[in-house]
Amino acid sequence: MVKLPGVNVGIIFSKIRESGVDWKGERMDWINEKPWNGIGVDVNASLSPRELAYKLKLDFEVSRVPSGLPKSFANQEMFQFFRSFIEHGDAHLETVGVLDGGRIVWGLASLEQEFMVTETDRMKGYLLLASRDEKRDRIEAHFIAVRSAGSNTFQIPSKARISFKNVCRRSFNKTFPFVSLKPNKFEEGMIRKTKEAIGLGREAISVFASEAEGLAKIKVDDQIANKYMFNVFQPDMANDFSSIGNKEINKLADQNTRIAIEAIKKAPGQNLEHANMTAWGLLNAVIYTVDHRLGKNRDSRLRLAWFGPNAKLKKRALELAMEL
């Protein structure tokens, strides 16, 4: 970074963010769009693993092997796992995408599980599959619920197994035919594990649906709302004050806490009656902040929200909302 005499670049970037633009010039208004817009690609579930890799420009070898050995089809075999897991779980692939320059590959599959928090607040359950290992040897399975208003993504805690060995990966031999000829498909044991995991995920989403309905009935005031946001983003400071008003916010709140407090009234969906100054509204203000406002750009926001430390913020926000 170029240093300019007498200029604090950090302060400049901070002021730019406060104006509603991130450091790469992306608008950060209170918009209602999916956090993976511009990153994910909507796909037809009938596409082959090779076609899915081509869609994301991943149709290249990932593993560098010595001259004379065949190319790696790691990405295609990863998508083969995605497809098999999704099909055996009675889900439907909708979107695929990459993060962090292609290191992370993810896919969202609809579980065809929708619920209404109230008559005007629709949620939809998804299976999130991801590979963060460039060799594509391990696949993660998570469950999320996406809110139509604001497109917030809620990570759903469940008892389901999270990590799976990619049984579709083929091994290489030093002798002809070099590539293992064993079919890269799910065997009976893997099919059983798949159905069990997705079954537990569906149950967890149903539990979350009931919790969301309960949160929508809990009314809060400004004091509770401010305290909640400090507990989420600045827990070490939250207990220092019996009450948190505008004076404490102006003096002590960091940028993330300020954005979240502002989101209570301004984020999409917060104007709905059951979200206006309720525990459900507070939770959504946090989720919207994490999904749409934090991070340097869309890639980093989604990576941090789904797989990084901000995923833990979401978990903490849900736990604290349940205590209100």
Res. 313: pLDDT tops 80: yes
Q: CA-to-CA distance for 277 and 220, rounded, in angstroms?
A: 5
Helix (H, G, I), strand (E, B) or coil at 264: helix
**Whole-angstrom distance, CA of residue 18 vs CA of residue 27:** 11
**Is a pLDDT exceeding 50 seen at residue 24?**
no
Calpha distance 209→212 (Å, rounded): 5
Where are any strands of DSSP class E within the chain? 40-42, 92-99, 104-118, 121-131, 138-147, 153-155, 163-165
For 264, residues 6+ apart whose C-beta sits below 8 A from its C-beta are 225, 229, 270, 277, 281, 282, 285
pLDDT reported for residue 63: 45
Q: Nearest Cα to 111, choosing from 211, 205, 189?
A: 205
Of all residues in the chain, the percent with pLDDT exceeding 70 is 79
Give backbone dihedrals phi and psi of 106, rounded to 5 degrees, phi first.
-135, 160
Residue 58 confidence class, pLDDT cut points 50, 70, 90? confident
More confident residue, 49 or 21: 49
Is the confidence at residue 305, as pLDDT, over 90?
Answer: yes
Running DSSP on this structure, what letter comes out for residue 289? I
Structure confidence by residue, pLDDT tens digits, 141-167: 999 999 999 899 999 999 999 999 999
- Which region among 181-190, 225-234, 267-276 has the lowest average model confidence (pLDDT)? 181-190
What's the rounded mean pLDDT across residues 241-262?
A: 80
For every residue of 296-312, DSSP letters joined together read SSHHHHHHHHHHSHHHH
Judge whether residue 94 has pLDDT over 80: yes
Q: Specify whether the CB–CB gap between 77 and 83 falls below 8 A.
A: no
User: Which of 282, 271, 267 has its CA nearest to residue 320?
Assistant: 282
